[in-house]
Chain A
Amino acid sequence: MKTIKIQLLVNNNEYEVSVSPNETLLDILRERLGLTGTKRGCEIGECGACTVVMNGEAVNSCLILAPQADGSKIMTVEGLMRNGEYHPLQQSFLNHDAVHCGFCTPGMLMSAYVLLQQKQNPTETGIKQAIAGNLCRCTGYQQIVEAIGDVGKKGETD
């Protein structure tokens, strides 16, 4: 199959990758760039485990064809830590035990990150909307909502 060269800025690192037109952004992140923090739970946009930030929006990376992502700015869970320090969201997820098996966690963190970028101190309804597309089979979600709400309240959005 013909390959296409695309440019990506992922977690502030520049990449040039040759991709097949039917590869997804998720494939590229995981299999080419080795960024396996982003998870694959369904491959068809139903679980949210593959959520990443693309040009400021939370997207299911399994639904983005790699060529569509050309020239995009991407952030994955691996981009959250700053100089070896937790992002407030990560710390809050730990404090609230918003993590069980951890498989949905990267996607949850990315959805939450975008929410807090777009809205300071979101309401509980706003938080629920932001993670409505992220399925978790282990926790009761409440801890996740509280973890995000806490960061919002403290105004630590970045």
Chain B
Amino acid sequence: MPRKIVKSKYFFEEDFIETIGEVSTEKVKDWGPNSQLKVVGKSLSRIDGYDKVSGTAKFSFDISLPNMVYAKTLRCPLPHAKIKKIDISEAKKVPGVLAVLTYENAPKIPWYYGMSFLFDPHLRYEGDEVACIAAETEQIAVDALKLIHVEYEELPFVVDAGAAMKPGAAKVHDAGNVVRGEPQIYKRGDIEKGFKQADVVVEDTFSTQVEIHNPTEPHCSVVNWDGSRLTIWDSTQGVFSVRDAIAGYLKMPASKVRVIKKYMGGAFGSKLEAGKYTVMAALLARETGRPVRIALDRRAMNLAVGNRPGSVQKLKVGAKKDGTLTAMNHYSYGAAGAYPSGAGCSRPFRTLYKCFNVRSEEYTVFINTGRGRPFRAPGHVQGTFAFESIIDETAEKIGMDPLAFRIKNYAEVDPASNRPYTGKLLRQAYKRGAAAIGWQDRKPAGSGSGPVKTGLGVATQIWWGGGGPPAYATLKLNRDGSAHVIAGSQDLGTGTYTFIAQVAAEVLEIPMEKIQVTLGDTAVAPYCGSSGGSTTAPSVSPAVRDAAEQMKTKLISAAAAVLEIPGNQLVYKNGIISVKNKPDKKLTIANIVRRMRERVLLTTGARNANPSGYAINTFGAQFARVEVDTYTGRISVKKIVAAHDIGRVLNRKTLENQVHGGILQGLGFALIEERVMDEFTGKMLNANLYDYKMPAIYNVPEIEVIIVSEGDAKISNTGVKGIGEPAMIPTPAAIANAVYNAIGVRLKSLPITPDKVLMALQG
């Protein structure tokens, strides 16, 4: 199997990752359009569907072990405090309480890049971990938590990013509230010069709220020690990343830690890293000598396991009368929460359109709230909302149709690196999307009569999503012609199990029913990265194809030896190898494997390196039709057309589901969801699912999904790019632009709630 070590670059959640890795150099034939394929691209039902509709699917929280005990965490009720005294004696006396961990008795395990510890007496947000109890039942643990007596020294706090940047603000950390002490600055060209060349200059300020991931399944782990070996069933997007982190925290060999995740109830970025709760459970399990299950409650989910940071974005755009962008400036700030995390949002601004003079300045600040984590297209959702809003404003100022303005500034090469794209079909996305929504009938802003006004809006999406190495897949072919694919990736509901089986079935030409897929188990699977960044399908599917192609080659070579005929005289069809022009001279997989005296043939496939010298991106355009009731301020999204270039579609059915879900989350961000903080107490006012509203059935618009791409053959042997994040990125901006088109007043602060609409209408 041809392999080599190469450098390869790809984008993962918040940054470019350069890897040096072993990749496959096997050149296989491009698959061509999906119409030429038998299994890949089809609308097939999920292979794990039975488990999910029958209730047999075991999520981490469903794992029950004999003699298991339950752990619960005490969380800080204040936004900023130091523990003066903590008394656990009463809690320890409760019958059924087995162990209590606090900063006084737990090992000092460094956390948050060495800025804190697993248990830290200095608590920096409401929800920070104070103690953890293991008990015979969860209820005993919950009751005993109330008997831990803590005396806090209350410290000054700040829970708003803007306030945290002001001189004299309460300090979250001694070094000051600006993360790294300085902004992130990006520039190309000369914006002064560019603004001078402009005929119109538009300036505006936009803001976005903090959004909470709130996957339906709470974060949880079940841990079990078996001598010196630790097994963890974790609700995670990255089994290997959790394994290595836990091994590091507990100072044990990674080989002795096994992390398993079979099914998970959503994550959206909030389950990319190892949680404190997992380490606490492991410590408690060691102390009690029993397995431990730990699960967060919904309140903790809202406070302590991540969020999409809010943003304030001041934008300035200059353009000539003919629509050419001449200069753009972006200034923004947002809050990491109490510990470092990224709040930048200027990437779409830098990369979406052709413009030579660009500058951005981004501040990430500490505040006394839970730390941010990547959330489905981090930075891009909020950045695209502001940028695509001001692009609309600029188009209007020079009297151009917003769509025509975007096409006028179409980037033929990546504006940041000047590299060509491996593929970019955004023009087709604009064209087909516009036709589907009826863009030609769009009326001037606010021109409708009557109290309920209709509007159309568009927004563009750019994201990476090309994936990359390392990613491996092991294929085991059994004597009976059935196969088992094993990969260290995970299925978040995104259909990973299913597309892996499809790719293997396509190459080996065996029925899907004969293929079994195992994912999310560090003890048995070859390495794949965490599932985030829309990288899973583009990274893993080529490794699976590589493994299957190798298997086919192996079978043909073996058949050649059995038949004593050169391999090039043989043809492989539907798992049968026959001699060209002599169809009765043939061998089945079973014949070959038996002759080899094997029961399981093995290959391991690898993801190829990304092509150098190219930018790899996904693109898309979404169009929204909304109705705004000017009496009540209510917005009803009637239709979203989502037209995307995401390389090859592996499974049309699961893809549509993924796009619908992304759009609904985008709609939630545009109109509904918001973490509400009380600036006087520093507490979150809506840390539950009743007050923290998420989209429910009544918010659903009609959705039309258009995929304009076939495989992007420059990237990999499957030509797949990711769709998870692209689906959500442009939705809020498209809705906001449609609202403007409906009422003629621009809403610049998300979420666009009825009160904001009414205020804006009244000027």
State the A residues within 8 Å of B (CB): 20, 22-23, 30-31, 34-44, 46-47, 49, 76-78, 80-81, 86, 90, 93-95, 97, 99-106, 109, 128, 131-132, 134-145
Query: What is the bound-complex CA distance between A20 and B142, given in angstroms?
Result: 15
Query: What are 29 A-to-B residue pairs whose CB atoms are below 8 Å?
Result: A36-B55, A36-B62, A37-B57, A39-B61, A40-B295, A41-B689, A43-B298, A77-B53, A90-B53, A93-B49, A93-B53, A94-B50, A99-B493, A101-B215, A101-B217, A102-B57, A102-B263, A103-B216, A104-B216, A132-B696, A135-B696, A137-B214, A137-B216, A137-B266, A137-B268, A137-B694, A141-B660, A141-B664, A141-B700
Residues of B within 8 A of A37 (CB): 54-57
Residues of A within 8 A of B493 (CB): 99-102, 138
Q: Which of A20, A78, A80, A101 makes the CB contact (< 8 A) with B216?
A: A101
Most B C-beta atoms less than 10 A away, residue of A34, A40, A134, A137: A137
> Which residues 20-68 in B have Cβ within 8 Å of A in the complex?
45-46, 48-59, 61-62, 64
Residues of A within 8 A of B694 (CB): 135, 137
Residues of A within 8 A of B656 (CB): 97, 143
Query: What is the bound-complex CA distance between A9 and B98, given in angstroms?
Result: 34
- Contact call A81/B54, Cβ cutoff below 8 A: yes
- Contact call B689/A138, Cβ cutoff below 8 A: no
Query: What is the bound-complex CA distance between A134 and B295, given in angstroms?
Result: 21
Classify the secondary structure of A's interface with B: loop
Is B681 interfacial (CB-CB < 8 Å)? Answer: no
Beyond the given pairs A86-B53, A101-B266, A142-B700, 15 more chain A to chain B contacts, judged by CB atoms under 8 angstroms and listed by A's residue number, are A36-B59, A44-B688, A46-B690, A47-B298, A78-B54, A97-B656, A101-B493, A102-B52, A102-B57, A102-B263, A103-B215, A135-B689, A137-B216, A137-B661, A138-B661
Query: What is the bound-complex CA distance between A31 and B492, given in angstroms?
Result: 25
Query: What is the bound-complex CA distance between A141 and B653, given in angstroms?
Result: 14
- Contact call A41/B216, Cβ cutoff below 8 A: yes
Q: Which of B58, B139, B265, B494 makes the CB contact (< 8 A) with A36?
A: B58
- Contact call B265/A97, Cβ cutoff below 8 A: no
Residues of B within 8 A of A106 (CB): 55
Residues of B within 8 A of A143 (CB): 656-657, 660
- Contact call A80/B64, Cβ cutoff below 8 A: no
Nearest-neighbor residue (CB-CB) of A49 within chain B: B216
Residues of chain B at interface, number, CB under 8 A:
55
Decide: A140 near B703, CB < 8 A? Known: A97-B656, A135-B216, A135-B696: yes
Residues of B within 8 A of A105 (CB): 52-53
Query: What is the bound-complex CA distance between A78 and B217, given in angstroms?
Result: 19
- Contact call A97/B55, Cβ cutoff below 8 A: no
Mark interface residues in B566-596 (1 if CB within 8 Å of A CB, else 0): 0000000000000000000000000000000
User: Chain A's nearest CB lies how many Å from the CB of B169?
Assistant: 34
State the B residues within 8 Å of A (CB): 45-46, 48-59, 61-62, 64, 139, 214-218, 263-266, 268, 295, 297-298, 492-494, 653-654, 656-661, 663-665, 688-690, 694-698, 700, 703
Query: What is the bound-complex CA distance between A34 and B656, given in angstroms?
Result: 34
- Contact call A97/B688, Cβ cutoff below 8 A: no
Nearest-neighbor residue (CB-CB) of A24 within chain B: B139
Residues of A within 8 A of B697 (CB): 128, 131-132, 134, 141, 144-145
Q: Which of A35, A43, A77, A100 makes the CB contact (< 8 A) with B297?
A: A43
Query: What is the bound-complex CA distance between A131 and B518, given in angstroms?
Result: 33
Query: What is the bound-complex CA distance between A144 and B660, given in angstroms?
Result: 12
- Contact call A39/B217, Cβ cutoff below 8 A: yes
- Contact call A97/B61, Cβ cutoff below 8 A: no
- Contact call B703/A99, Cβ cutoff below 8 A: no
Q: Which of A42, A78, A101 makes the CB contact (< 8 A) with B55?
A: A78
Residues of B within 8 A of A80 (CB): 53-55
User: Chain B's nearest CB lies how many Å from the CB of A157?
Assistant: 17
User: Chain B's nearest CB lies how many Å from the CB of A31?
Assistant: 8
Q: Which of B50, B298, B654, B657 makes the CB contact (< 8 A) with A46?
A: B298
- Contact call B698/A109, Cβ cutoff below 8 A: no
User: Chain A's nearest CB lies how many Å from the CB of B94?
Assistant: 12
Query: What is the bound-complex CA distance between A143 and B265, given in angstroms?
Result: 18
User: Chain A's nearest CB lies how many Å from the CB of B419?
Assistant: 34
Residues of B within 8 A of A134 (CB): 697
Nearest-neighbor residue (CB-CB) of B298 within chain A: A42
Residues of B within 8 A of A22 (CB): 139
Decide: A140 near B660, CB < 8 A? Known: A78-B54, A78-B55, A102-B263: yes
- Contact call B54/A101, Cβ cutoff below 8 A: no
User: Chain A's nearest CB lies how many Å from the CB of B519?
Assistant: 14
Most B C-beta atoms less than 10 A away, residue of A40, A78, A94, A140: A140
Query: What is the bound-complex CA distance between A34 and B66, given in angstroms?
Result: 12
Query: What is the bound-complex CA distance between A54 and B60, given in angstroms?
Result: 26
Residues of A within 8 A of B214 (CB): 137
Decide: A90 near B54, CB < 8 A? Known: A39-B217, A100-B657: yes
Nearest-neighbor residue (CB-CB) of A23 within chain B: B139
Decide: A97 near B45, CB < 8 A? Known: A37-B54, A102-B57, A105-B52: yes
Query: What is the bound-complex CA distance between A137 and B46, given in angstroms?
Result: 18
- Contact call A20/B51, Cβ cutoff below 8 A: no
- Contact call A140/B661, Cβ cutoff below 8 A: yes
- Contact call A97/B46, Cβ cutoff below 8 A: yes
Decide: A38 near B55, CB < 8 A? Known: A22-B139, A95-B45, A137-B694: yes
Nearest-neighbor residue (CB-CB) of A86 within chain B: B53
Q: Which of A42, A86, A99 makes the CB contact (< 8 A) with B46?
A: A99
- Contact call B55/A128, Cβ cutoff below 8 A: no
Query: What is the bound-complex CA distance between A38 and B57, given in angstroms?
Result: 11
Query: What is the bound-complex CA distance between A40 and B138, given in angstroms?
Result: 13
Most B C-beta atoms less than 10 A away, residue of A38, A109, A141, A144: A141
Q: Which of A44, A77, A144 makes the CB contact (< 8 A) with B298?
A: A44
Query: What is the bound-complex CA distance between A68 and B445, given in angstroms?
Result: 57
Query: What is the bound-complex CA distance between A132 and B663, given in angstroms?
Result: 19
- Contact call A101/B49, Cβ cutoff below 8 A: no
Residues of B within 8 A of A95 (CB): 45
Query: What is the bound-complex CA distance between A134 and B694, given in angstroms?
Result: 11
Residues of A within 8 A of B64 (CB): 31, 34, 36
Nearest-neighbor residue (CB-CB) of B217 within chain A: A103
Nearest-neighbor residue (CB-CB) of A101 within chain B: B493
User: Chain A's nearest CB lies how many Å from the CB of B271?
Assistant: 11
Residues of A within 8 A of B696 (CB): 132, 135, 141
Residues of B within 8 A of A20 (CB): 139
Residues of B within 8 A of A76 (CB): 55
Nearest-neighbor residue (CB-CB) of B51 within chain A: A102
Residues of A within 8 A of B56 (CB): 37, 78
